[in-house]
Amino acid sequence: MSDLVAVILAAGKGTRMKSKLPKVLHKVGGKPMVEHVLQAAEASGARKKIVVVGFGSEKVTEFLGKRAEIVLQKEQLGTGHAVLQAEPLLQEFVGTILILCGDTPLLEGQELKSFYEEHKASGAAASVLTACTHNPTGYGRILREDNNNVMGIVEEKDASDEQKTICEINTGIYCVEAPLLFEILHTLSCDNAQGEYYLTDILFKLREKGQKICGIVTKDFPMIMGINSRRQLAEAESIMRGRILDKLMDNGVTIMDPASTFIEATVEIGADTIIYPFTWLEGQTNIGEGAIIGPQVRLTNVEVGSETQLQFLYGHDCKVEKQVTAGPYVHLRPDTVIRDNVKIGNFVEVKNSTVGVGSKLPHLTYIGDSDIGSGVNMGCGCITVNYNGKKKYRTIIEDNAFVGCNSNLVAPVKIGEGSFVGAGSTITKDIPANALGVGRGRQITIKDWAEKYRNS
């Protein structure tokens, strides 16, 4: 076990986001920002993760569940005060504390690991991860002496005009030795432009005490980007999106147009699958190999089998198995299972139903609360009438049944195996196996009627 513990600061309101949602719960790549930071902390090798919560603490705590230990910062008095709240959980701890902010979603574990290793190798009491950028606005600036040693950090709001021109910024990521960290935190004051207990001030304090402090520069500025506004959120989203798509392409997925493809970090896709433009893949969506998805497909929590082809389709909370073709203009709603080799055509909606192997729903059909067997053919414009205004009922269509065009199957009703339904029927009673059910007005034909009508 390493002697590394991570403390993640997530108590701030995120005033600049102008949101009711705590800042760290805003999503990037489909996951709350704090989730990304937590994952990076896990990958860094930290043996314990402590998250400091405050604004919207119930929501953040609920999201974190058992994944981290939680401490409450009742009043948000600054980043230094926030870290101090973790002290009771680290009373006996001797080792390094990796301090992270919950608003840096692009962070990666490997970066943290090497930062920690460099810190250890330097023998410093505290190290800060820094980055150089053309646009340092909003970040604390790193102050260095002529010999390049770090002196401390000055916040933008406290910086002189000259200090504001410094391009090396504080990423808000630190490694600090404990118990020294807490000893210093107790001595912080809030005598600054924001009246807050700044964590950044620990560097000045440590230096004053003759401790070694170290500034380690990362080359990857976007990785440490802190999100304070919706604009920065969009910027991070775009970077994250590029990363996700790159990873998928590296794993053998073809993305026809990365600029119009939106895939969340939670999605998995097999090799040789092709993603056409204007496609959104979200949540727990999992796609097999050799599939063709898009154009214009949105899938949220959908499991898709190999070699399935979907176009112009919206599916959510459902499963589509192997070698299915569906679309254009299909809506697959929750609790639907589409089995292998099914064909679903234009303008079809399926809800809370199972469609068996090789069945066909080619055109203009609504299937709700139904169990359809295999080899079933539903003609154009079939409707399962599943709702009487009070309750929903199921329709059962057994294997190899053939339902003629424009039929209504009024549930609860069962169409037996291999039987036929005459086109235009409204079926209200069960049809046994191998039978024909017809339920419609009989046609009458009156000769010469039209001529008489016109002359009347």
How many residues sit in the footprint of ligand UD1 (CB under 6 A)? 29
Check: CB of residue 192 under 8 Å from CB of residue 155. yes
Angle at 228 between CA 44 and CA 165, to 5 degrees: 95
The rounded distance, in Å, linking the Cα atoms of 334 and 368 is 10
| 81 binds, options ligand UD1, Ca ion, none, Cβ within 5 to 8 A by partner type | ligand UD1
Tell whether residue 57 is a contact of ligand UD1 (CB under 6 A): no
Q: List the one residue from 5, 49, 70, 79 that touches ligand UD1 (CB under 6 A).
A: 79
Q: List the one residue from 136, 226, 368, 375 that touches Ca ion (CB under 5 A).
A: 226
Would you state the structure tokens that stand for residue 110, as one six-digit string?
């490997």
The rounded distance, in Å, linking the Cα atoms of 136 and 132 is 8
The rounded distance, in Å, linking the Cα atoms of 267 and 246 is 13
Closest CA to 140 of 121, 118, 119, 164: 164
* Ranges within 231-250 binding Ca ion (CB under 5 A): none
Binding track, positions 284-313, relative to ligand UD1; x by CB under 6 A:
------------------------------
Check: CB of residue 85 under 8 Å from CB of residue 73. yes
The rounded distance, in Å, linking the Cα atoms of 301 and 293 is 15
* Ranges within 359-398 binding ligand UD1 (CB under 6 A): none
Tell whether residue 172 is a contact of ligand UD1 (CB under 6 A): yes
* Ranges within 308-337 binding ligand UD1 (CB under 6 A): none
Tell whether residue 52 is a contact of ligand UD1 (CB under 6 A): yes
Binding track, positions 219-258, relative to ligand UD1; x by CB under 6 A:
-------x-x------------------------------
* Ranges within 273-312 binding Ca ion (CB under 5 A): none
Would you state the structure tokens that stand for residue 250, as one six-digit string?
């590296």
Binding track, positions 113-142, relative to ligand UD1; x by CB under 6 A:
--------------------------xx--
| 307 binds, options Ca ion, ligand UD1, none, Cβ within 5 to 8 A by partner type | none
Residue 407's identity, in one-letter code, is S
The single residue listed with the structure tokens 């005598």 is 191
DSSP state, residue 387: B
Q: List the one residue from 35, 103, 237, 321 that touches ligand UD1 (CB under 6 A).
A: 103
Stretch that binds Ca ion, among 67-75, 103-111, 125-133, 202-210 (CB under 5 A): 103-111
**Three-state DSSP class for residue 164:** helix
Helix axes 57-64, 33-44, angle to 10 degrees: 50
| 76 binds, options ligand UD1, Ca ion, none, Cβ within 5 to 8 A by partner type | ligand UD1
Residue 336 CB-density burial (10 A; 0-12 exposed, 13-18 middle, 19+ buried): buried
> In terms of CB distance, is 13 or 207 closer to Ca ion?
13
| 52 binds, options ligand UD1, Ca ion, none, Cβ within 5 to 8 A by partner type | ligand UD1
**Shortest distance, position 172 Cβ to Ca ion, whole Å:** 6
**Shortest distance, position 68 Cβ to ligand UD1, whole Å:** 14
- Phi then psi dihedrals of residue 248, to 5 deg: -65, -45
**Shortest distance, position 194 Cβ to ligand UD1, whole Å:** 8
Check: CB of residue 286 under 8 Å from CB of residue 299. no
Check: CB of residue 404 under 8 Å from CB of residue 422. yes
The single residue listed with the structure tokens 């970090």 is 265
DSSP state, residue 23: G
Tell whether residue 404 is a contact of ligand UD1 (CB under 6 A): no
Q: List the one residue from 5, 6, 9, 50 that touches ligand UD1 (CB under 6 A).
A: 9
> Quick check: is 186 catalytic?
no
**Shortest distance, position 157 Cβ to ligand UD1, whole Å:** 8
Alpha carbon distances (Å) from 159 to 196, 336, 352, 358:
15, 59, 60, 69
Binding site for Ca ion (CB under 5 A): 103, 226, 228
Please give the positions annotated as active site. 363
Residues of this chain that interact with ligand UD1 (CB under 6 A) are: 9-12, 52, 54, 73, 76-79, 81-82, 101-103, 139-140, 153, 155, 169-172, 198-200, 226, 228
